[in-house]
Structure 1
Amino acid sequence: MLSSARSIQEIRERLRVELVDTRGRAIGDTTVHEAHFGDAGLLHRAFSVLLVNERDEVLLQRRAATKRRFPGLWSNTCCGHPGPGEALVDAARARLTDELGIRVATLEVGGAFVYRAADPGSGYVEHEYDHVLVGEFDGEPPDIDPAEVSEVAWRPLDEILRELDGAGATAFTPWFGQVVRATRELRGVGS
């Protein structure tokens, strides 16, 4: 099982991502691995999806231990990279289906932000122009990919925001705080 998860990660590292400038304009492309390798990382387009249920809870995932960057940390429902020229929402929907078996009709764009975060455990760097996408979903994910996700949980957003402002922040990925704050502003969840 562990070797098949690593094989999947190796394949995903060879996928192409879109390099962008600080305004989000495409300037080229490279592999996922090259975008995250080195001291600075290369600025590239990414997305972070956060799903909300009818009780105003958000669906979190704990990243699998086999993930190259920030394994074992809690984060938004899913995240990924659109391929060069790929529509953002189409890429996000595909990733939701691949990682969790979830299909959603609508994803709202909640803004974008640029961040840089070095993973001290792996030496890889996230340097992303990250688009926040928010959707609605109720229930449990029907098909979790163990190469990507070790567990999921529905949590109230206001509770998460308190944790992010305190000692519990280290349990989450570095970009997650900006994703939940953008979600709160877009949807009025947890306010």
Structure 2
Amino acid sequence: MSSSDEIIDIVDEHDQVVRQASRGEAYAKGLRHRCVFILARDADDRIFVHRRTATKTVFPSRYDMFVGGVVGAGESYDEAALREAEEELGVSGLPRPVPVFTFLYETGDGLSWWSRVYEVRCVLPVSPQVEEIEWHAFLTDAELDRRLAEDAGDGGRPWTPDGLAAYERLRAARASDA
């Protein structure tokens, strides 16, 4: 079964399930669904950063500081977060990712998804899923912030816009907690 055939929950503006559809139909018709974003840190507190493969349906060949993906039909956010983190990092036995917040991401061109952001510590050696990730590295917060600032200009690395939105909200939440 291809990822476009995967059945997912379609939700309303309050994140309540209203029906199910294939992932392909959800993207083609702009149906609101659910996604998880997991910020993975290694034992040295560095963030897993990667470049998505060119074959990805959404935001191909873009850089991201989150692993994650679409929540399957009948699956909870928490279940999806653990599944996606283990799949994309190529590990098993991760601790359960810790939820941080939920927000509605809207693209501006009619697409939107409810997004739950998590954090997880991955002390295991990673072996990223080659179908999803073509490059990866662990970066310190300062290294990631420097790259994001450098890439804001013309010719910089293209980052996933939903990942950037989630990361900006995460940084703001950390700043308000400090």
Would the aligned equivalents of 1:76 and 1:179 in 2 still touch at CA under 8 Å?
no
Aligned-residue CA RMSD (Å)? 2.6
Cα shift at 1:184: 3.5
Task: Calculate the TM-score normalised by the size of structure 2.
Answer: 0.82
1:141 aligns with 2:126: yes
Cα shift at 1:185: 5.3
Task: Calculate the TM-score normalised by the size of structure 1.
Answer: 0.77
1: CA distance, partners of 2:53 / 2:46: 22
Structure 1 SS opposite 2:39: strand
1:175 aligns with 2:165: no
2: CA distance, partners of 1:157 / 1:25: 35
Tell me the matched-pair count: 172
2: CA distance, partners of 1:181 / 1:118: 17
1:116 aligns with 2:106: yes
Summarize deviations over 1:60-110 as a string: whole Å, max 9, x none: 121011111211111134221222221222222222222221231121111
Q: Alignment identity in percent?
A: 23
Cα shift at 1:16: 1.0
Gaps of 5+ in 2: none
Gaps of 5+ in 1: 1-9, 120-124
2: CA distance, partners of 1:126 / 1:154: 30
Q: Match for residue 107 of structure 1?
A: 97
Would the aligned equivalents of 2:91 and 2:124 in 1 still touch at CA under 8 Å?
no
Q: Which moved more, 1:166-175 or 1:64-73?
A: 166-175
Structure 1 SS opposite 2:161: coil
